[in-house]
Amino acid sequence: MELKDAFEDYRLYLNVLQRKSKKTQQSYLHDIEVYLNFLGKRNILLCEDISVLDIEDFLDVYAEDHIASSVNRMIASIHSFHLQISIAHPEIKDVSLLIHGMKSSKHLPVYLSVDEVKKVFSSFQDNQIDQYNKTILVVLYSCGLRVSELCELKLNDVHLAEGILKVKGKGDKERVIPISSYCISQMKYYLDSIRSVWDVKNVSYFFVNRLGRRCTRQYVHLMIKNKVNELNLNSKISAHSFRHSFATHLLDGNADLRIVQELLGHSNIQTTQIYTHIQDQRLTSVYDRCFQKIEKPKEE
C-alpha cells in the first residue's frame, strides 16, 4: 500500500470514525506528514517497506530538536497511524508496536570514553570487511554524523585534499565538517584498497558494500551491536553513541558550544546543551569522590 494512500485513509479515519476535533486532526496529520516526508527522502514509498529501524532513525533525528513531550506526541501519532493501517489491511504488520515513549526527564546520551573509542578502533583486523567497518565507525565518530547522513554521503561530498566533507542533514540544511588527519588516512585506505575493488556498479555513494551497493543503516546498526558484544562494552552503545562521543570529546577539549552546534547541525542551541550536562555530571562525580575521602570519619 502506498504511503500517500495510507495518509488519505488515515485522514478519513480521524474525521469520520474517530470524530476527532479539527485541532486534534490537524495535530495528528501534521505529525504524520513530517514522518512520511522523512521516509520519502529515503525512498520508502510503501507501508510494507517500513521497518522498526526506520521509525527509530526518524525519532532519533526528531528528538534532537524537540522536547520529550513533543517526541511522545509524535510517537502517539505514529502508533495511531500504523494501528489504523493494520486494522484496515491485516496483511500489513504494525511495526510501531515495539516503539515506546520517552520519559519526561530526558536521559543523558550514552557515549564512549576516549579509551573505549581507541579500543574499538584497534579491535579491527587487517582485512577488507574489518577495515570497511572501521572506516564507517571512524567517520561516524570523527565527523559526528547521523547514520542516515553517513549512508547518504556521496563521493563528491568528500574532499580529502581540503580536509572537509559536506553533509546534507535535517531539513536539507548543508553543513561543512573538518576531517581529522587520522580519519583522512583511514578514508584514503578505504578508497584505494577496498572501494576501488567493491564498486562494481559505479555508484555515487561513498560507502558501498561487497556487492557494490550503498551501505544501509541496518548494516551499520547490526555491525555496531556485534562489535559492542565482542568487546563487552555498554550494551546501550549504538550508532548514535559515536555522534554523542564526538560532541562530548570536543567540549572536553574546550571547543565552543556554538561550534559544536554547527558541526552537529542542531538548529537549537538548547539541544546541544545536553552535552554540557554530561560534563556537569562528571564534575559532580569527581567532586563527590574527592570529598568522600576527605570527610571519611575517623575510626574510634
Residue of 217, 243, 244, 249 with catalytic role: 243
Examine the residue annotation and report whether 154 is marked as an active-site residue of this protein: no
pTM for this one? 0.66
Provide the pLDDT for residue 100. Answer: 81
Is 146 designated active site? yes
DSSP state of 208: B
pLDDT for the residue numbered 200: 87
Mean pLDDT by 10 residues, the chain (300 residues): 92 81 86 94 92 88 77 92 92 90 61 94 96 98 93 95 89 87 97 94 94 92 95 91 92 86 82 66 52 53
Residues ≥6 apart with Cβ < 8 Å to 78: 31, 32, 35, 55, 96, 99
- How far the first Cα of the chain sits from its last, in Å, is 77
What is the predicted pLDDT for the residue at 102? 61
Residue 214, beta-bridge partner list = 208
How far lies 230's CA from each of 53, 74, 131, 224, in Å? 22, 35, 16, 10
- Catalytic residue list contains 173: no
- Residue 298 known to be catalytic: no
**pLDDT single digits (tens) 14-42:** 888 777 778 888 889 999 999 999 999 88
Please tell me the predicted confidence (pLDDT) of residue 249: 92
For 223-226, the CB contacts below 8 A with 24+ separation are: 223/133, 223/136, 224/137
Summarised one tens digit per residue, pLDDT across range 222-261 is: 999 999 999 999 988 988 899 999 998 998 888 888 888 8
Cell of 99: 516503539
From 134, 146, 195, 217, the catalytic residue? 146
* Separation between Cα atoms, residue 227 and residue 237, nearest integer Å: 10
Buried-exposed string 205-228: b where 16+ CB fall within 10 A, e elsewhere: bbbbeeeebbbebebbbebbeebb
Domains of the chain: 3-88 (1.10.150), 114-285 (1.10.443.10)
Query: Which residue is catalytic, options 28, 62, 205, 275?
Result: 275
- In the set 170, 214, 221, 225, the catalytic residue is 170
- The C-alpha cell that represents 88 in the structure block: 484496515
**Measured distance CA(136)–CA(129) in Å, rounded:** 11
Residue 266 designated active-site: yes
Q: Name the one residue in this structure whose C-alpha cell is 536521559.
A: 107
- Segment (H or E) for 156: none
Burial class (CB in 10 A: 0-12, 13-18, 19+), 86: middle
- The span from the CA of 122 to the CA of 24, in Å, is 52
In the prediction, which pLDDT does 286 show? 47
Chain centroid, CA 82 distance in Å = 22
> Which pLDDT does position 21 carry in this prediction?
78
